[in-house]
Amino acid sequence: MKLTILGCSSAFPKKDSSTSSQLLEINGKSFLIDCGEGTQIQLRKYGVKLNSIENIFISHLHGDHFFGLPGLISTLKLLGRTKALNIYGPTGIKKAITLLLKLGGSWTNYDLHFHELNSTESIVILENSKFKIQTIPLNHRIYTNGFLFTEIINEQKLLIQNVEKYKIDKTQYRGIKLGKDGISLNGELIKNSLLTEPKEEDKSYAYCSDTCFFPKIIPIIKNSTVLYHESTFLESHKKIASMTKHSTAREAAEIAKQANVATLILGHFSSRYNDIEGFKTEAESVFSNVELSNDGKIFNI
Amino acid sequence: MKLTILGCSSAFPKKDSSTSSQLLEINGKSFLIDCGEGTQIQLRKYGVKLNSIENIFISHLHGDHFFGLPGLISTLKLLGRTKALNIYGPTGIKKAITLLLKLGGSWTNYDLHFHELNSTESIVILENSKFKIQTIPLNHRIYTNGFLFTEIINEQKLLIQNVEKYKIDKTQYRGIKLGKDGISLNGELIKNSLLTEPKEEDKSYAYCSDTCFFPKIIPIIKNSTVLYHESTFLESHKKIASMTKHSTAREAAEIAKQANVATLILGHFSSRYNDIEGFKTEAESVFSNVELSNDGKIFNI
């Protein structure tokens, strides 16, 4: 998985930082997570082919997370897109986008599928043999979901040494990688476990923005490879964080620790902070593996 | 009047050019004309105080002319605005903005006044002793207005030489500038025409985007100081221009010539042209005083 931060500024864009948007690539498939104003500009800036996006996930209907969506949808039309686009987001998103396109007198040439969300429980919204995407119900001022992306590792790696030892012919390799036993040159059945390395664990990325400190998400994101958790404020502004249902860096780290994730990425910083290094310092007092978001920053998961 | 081009790209933003938006300043008042996606970013980039804007004029409801409006409205709230904001635009704009704010669960703290337009005749929409703003009904795929801004020059300049000659005391200056006669030190009535320079003509700025070649606008914009006229295409793409109800540079120049304006500014360039110099060349074959738009370019009118 490859994650590109397109924007990580809370509330409104700043000179050097856009509002929330991320591109996640899993096995060559591109998923857009949130779409603040100017996301299409950020996508171009970081060399993403707009047409590669097939699924867009909108956490909630605050402008800094979805005001770039109507423009992106319109631009995809103008670029001659024909393949369908799937949009997952809170109930109401279809009405909003439909109204804007109707006012402009210009429906898309491609199919636009809206998958409106209203469940307060975690549900699987997209799944195939290679990945699974489920919601992470969050606690913010309006109905909000985070999203958990799991890359399913189906293939095992061959233990070349043993494959050669038992003289397994190459036509069997694909089947063995997928879990089948092998047959040696002299007709002997060789157990799969002797021919493959132990299966790699599935990798997962949890996106949690916007939310207050909400331990109810911990069972859902438990043991994730990477957690992006909003940290709009520092502990020094805990009162405002609580009032506006946002998190502090320390609270994000507390979630990361309790969920036993490998890496925590912080983002959605309030514009009141000129220097974001303080977020890292604060979070590291609780959890050791902390990264900061920046527009254009890439994380290989 | 001072005009700042914030964006002049048609259809969608490019790396170095935003979609349509302009800031016009008349006597210290700031008027925003159109508000494509990313306008709030452009305003910050060019050092405009967002809160100085009191009136926004939206030509039509294609995304490249108003998808930046919901974000700007939200940001003004977050910046603590208290004074009212007036929005002039086609019928439907109120419903769209209202729905987006409602979905976000966040109405503005300041008054938002919508002035919805549906007349196909030119109407005066804002007027006081210093300026007058009227619509310029255009001909595009959907209902569209341009806007004519006229700065009313009320004050005449004093002819200092004569004011001194007739020994007019300074307390009379303001009245004389506004057209009154003067009284000399020895009580003689001195005609205003002897004490002032001939009155300067009112200055006007006509914004016409988007539209096909539409000579019906000529009586409205006649003798304007500056005309901004869209030129999405060159004559080599006249067929597409006609199909999409846009203008070519030559057509824009034809309007400028027939309307006898002093200066023509071209803009709203299609992304198919890497070099916009061709627009100037084409227009200059018809009309001599042609300028090209660029993001951040300032015109003093």
Phi, psi of B27 (to 5 degrees): 50, 45
Residues B45 and B111 in one domain: yes
The predicted structure's pLDDT at residue B201: 85
Catalytic residues of B: 64
pLDDT digits (tens, 9 = 90+) for A41-51: 999 999 999 99
The predicted structure's pLDDT at residue B14: 86
Residues A72 and A128 in one domain: yes
Residues A180 and A206 in one domain: no
Residues A81 and A190 in one domain: no
Quickly tell me which residue has 């002997």 as its tokens: A188
| A104 vs B13, B63, B78: nearest CB | B63
Q: Are A211 and A142 in contact (CB under 8 A)?
A: no
> How many Å lie between the alpha carbon of B95 and the closest alpha carbon of chain A?
9
Residues B141 and B170 in one domain: no
Chain B residues whose beta carbon lies within 8 Å of the beta carbon of residue A68: 37
Residues A269 and A180 in one domain: no
> How many Å lie between the alpha carbon of B254 and the closest alpha carbon of chain A?
28
pLDDT digits (tens, 9 = 90+) for B49-101: 999 999 999 999 999 999 999 999 999 999 999 999 999 999 999 999 999 99
Q: Which two tokens stand for residue A91?
A: 């109930």
Total beta-carbon pairs less than 8 A apart between chain A and chain B: 102
Domain boundary among A195, A212, A246: A195
What pTM was estimated for this model as a whole?
0.92
Percentage of chain A lying above the pLDDT 90 cut: 91
Give the mean pLDDT of chain B.
96
Strand order through the sheet with B2-7: B112-117, B85-90, B53-57, B29-35, B21-26, B2-7, B298-300
Range of the domain at A166: 160-195
> How many Å lie between the alpha carbon of B258 and the closest alpha carbon of chain A?
31
Chain A residues whose beta carbon lies within 8 Å of the beta carbon of residue B62: 104, 106
Chain A residues whose beta carbon lies within 8 Å of the beta carbon of residue B44: 13-15
Chain A residues whose beta carbon lies within 8 Å of the beta carbon of residue B15: 41, 44-45
Beta partners for residue B29, in sequence order: B26
Cα B178 to Cα B174, B190, B234: the distances in Å are: 6, 15, 47
Contact B45 A75 (CB under 8 A): no
Residues A117 and A263 in one domain: yes
Q: Which two tokens stand for residue A184?
A: 């040696």
| A78 vs B12, B103, B106: nearest CB | B12
Quickly tell me which residue has 């995407």 as its tokens: A133
Contact A63 B78 (CB under 8 A): no
Residues A34 and A9 in one domain: yes
Chain A residues whose beta carbon lies within 8 Å of the beta carbon of residue B13: 38, 40-41, 44, 71
> How many Å lie between the alpha carbon of B251 and the closest alpha carbon of chain A?
24
pLDDT digits (tens, 9 = 90+) for B175-220: 999 999 999 988 999 999 999 998 888 899 999 999 999 999 999 9
Domain boundary among B195, B217, B248: B195
Q: What is the DSSP string of B219-275?
A: HHHTT-SEEEEE--B-GGGHHHHHHTT--BHHHHHHHHHHTT-SEEEEE-B-TT-S-
Residues A6 and A115 in one domain: yes
Beta partners for residue B203, in sequence order: B151
> How many Å lie between the alpha carbon of A59 and the closest alpha carbon of chain B?
12
Among chain A residues, CA nearest to B14 = A41
The predicted structure's pLDDT at residue B184: 92
The predicted structure's pLDDT at residue B15: 79
Neighbours of A237 (CB within 10 A): 17
Domain boundary among A138, A173, A195: A195
Residues A141 and A206 in one domain: yes
Chain A positions contacting chain B at CB under 8 Å are: 11-15, 37-38, 40-41, 44-45, 61-64, 67-68, 70-71, 74-75, 78, 90, 92-93, 95-96, 99-100, 103-106, 141-142
Task: Say which CATH number the domain at B215 has.
Answer: 3.60.15.10
Among chain B residues, CA nearest to A144 = B104
What pLDDT band is residue B153 in, cutting at 50, 70 and 90? confident
Number of compact structural domains in chain B? 2
Which listed residue (A16, A34, A64, A181) is catalytic? A64
Residues B184 and B258 in one domain: no
Residues A104 and A164 in one domain: no
Report the run of H or E that residue A126 belongs to, with start and end.
strand A124-127
DSSP code for A201: P
CA angle B284, B287, B293 (to 5 degrees): 65
Q: Collect the ranges in chain A with pLDDT lower than 50.
A: none
The predicted structure's pLDDT at residue B106: 83
Average pLDDT over residues B146-157: 93
| B37 vs A71, A104, A105: nearest CB | A71
Contact A95 B99 (CB under 8 A): yes
